[in-house]
């Protein structure tokens, strides 16, 4: 019975480490995504006050940052939601 308890504790510790890595990584992606999205919106709004090539360049860069930021934000949230639903089922299996 002592061996079963150690195995359970070991599996629970592995699950805890996995959960920590997933939540930390996806939270970092969400934070970077929000930052890039804000940067893209700021560059896009700044491009409105510019003229010519400078306006086009700022618009293009702002659009790229906005799209990449939105993608990272959505990707991070999806990973967090998947972890939210999968981790309890893994704990129940223990």
Q: What is the pLDDT of residues 56-69, one digit of tens each?
A: 998 999 999 999 99
List all residues 6 or more positions away from 71 whose beta carbon is below 8 Å from its beta carbon.
Answer: 33
CB-facing half-sphere around the CA of 80: CA atoms within 13 A: 15
Tokens of 44: 């896009």
- Residue 61 in any domain: the answer is yes
More confident residue, 78 or 7: 78
Q: How many domains, in total, are found in the chain?
A: 1
Please give the model's pTM, rounded to 2 decimal places.
0.78
Stretch 57-86: mean pLDDT, rounded? 92
pLDDT exceeds 70 at position 82:
yes
- Residue 50 in any domain: the answer is yes
> How far is it, in rounded angstroms, from Cα 87 to Cα 3?
24
- Residue 56 in any domain: the answer is yes
Give the range of the structural domain holding residue 42, as residue numbers without chain letter.
Answer: 29-94
- Residue 1 in any domain: the answer is no
- Cβ atoms 80, 27 nearer than 8 A: yes
Query: Which pLDDT score is estimated for 71?
Result: 94
SS3 content of the chain, % helix, strand, coil (to 5): 95, 0, 5
Q: What residue spans of the chain are helical by DSSP H? A: 2-47, 52-93
């Amino acid at each position: 019975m002592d061996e079963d308890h150690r195995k359970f504790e070991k599996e629970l510790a592995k699950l805890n480490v996995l959960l920590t890595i997933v939540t930390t990584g996806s939270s970092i992606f969400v934070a970077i995504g929000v930052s890039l999205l804000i940067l893209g919106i700021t560059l896009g709004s700044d491009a409105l006050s510019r003229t010519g090539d400078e306006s086009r360049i700022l618009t293009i860069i702002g659009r790229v940052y906005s799209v990449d930021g939105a993608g990272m934000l959505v990707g991070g949230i999806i990973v967090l939601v998947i972890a939210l639903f999968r981790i309890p089922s893994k704990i129940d299996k223990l």
